[in-house]
Every structure is written in C-alpha cells, then in structure tokens.
Amino acid sequence: MHEYFLMDKIVQSVIEEASRRRAKSVSEVHLLVGELAFVGEEQARMWFDLLKEKTILKRAKLFIEHEKGKVRCSNCNYKGPIENLDTVDHHAAFPAIGCPKCGSPVEIISGKDCIVKTVKLTV
C-alpha cells in the first residue's frame, strides 16, 4: 500500500505542475528512488499505470533511477554504503539500520528519498 500513496502523490503533483504550465500532455516522468525508501518498483509501476488513466499523464512513461543508500556512523566515523540491506525489515515503521563496521546506530545521509527529477510536457 505504501507504493499506492506514493504514486498517487506523484501523479497528482505532476498533474498540478502540468496544469500550471498549461501543458497538453505529459510524455515522461523521471523519478530518483533511494534504496532506503523501500519502494517496490513493480508495485510503483503498477500504481502509476492505474492512477494515470483518464488524466493528462495517460500516455506517460515512467523512468526510475535508483540511488544507493549511504550512512554515517558517529561511533567509528564510517561513511559509506550499507551492507546486508536484505536483512533489514522493510515493513517496520522505522527499520533499524546499523553501522556495517561496528553495529552502532547510524545517520542516513542519502538514499531515502523519492524525487521527481524531470517531467517531459507538451505545451
């Protein structure tokens, strides 16, 4: 269900922007999705396709670029990618991610966002 709400917000945002720019149609939507956003790509694409029907996005193609997650540990000063991300409980409200070097709690510095990078409009 997470993907439904995310894609609904994205579709509505693109519709609003297209309307502001008086676009006739939207042909492409490019997203940057961080691996720590825990977005299922197949589900996101399915919801995008369903939500775009009967809108200005009806013929739009969805492009998804992936961003690796990076963390910073204040205990051992590790800064870099997360190892063994497949062991994290993706369905927890606040997934616990530990430092790959010492196991301490970490600060996420990249890879948790889902951003609309570009939209291709026909005006």
Q: What is the pLDDT of residues 49-90, one digit of tens each?
A: 999 999 999 999 999 999 999 999 999 999 999 876 554 544
CA distance 85 to 76: 19
Residue 10 has pLDDT above 90, yes or no: yes
Tokens of 8: 């609904």
Report pLDDT for 86. 55
What pLDDT does residue 2 have?
84
Range in 30-34, 57-61, 96-100, 113-117 with the lowest mean pLDDT: 96-100
Average pLDDT, rounded, for the chain? 89
Q: Is the pLDDT of residue 107 over 60?
A: yes
Q: Which helix (DSSP H) or strand (DSSP E) does residue 20 occupy?
A: helix 2-20
* Burial of 26 per CB tally in 10 Å (0-12, 13-18, 19+): buried
Model pTM?
Answer: 0.80
What's the domain count of the chain?
1
Distance CA 64, CA 31 (A): 5
Task: Provide the pLDDT for residue 83.
Answer: 74
Q: What is the CATH number of the domain that holds 15?
A: 3.30.2320.80
Name the residue range of residue 30's domain. 2-122
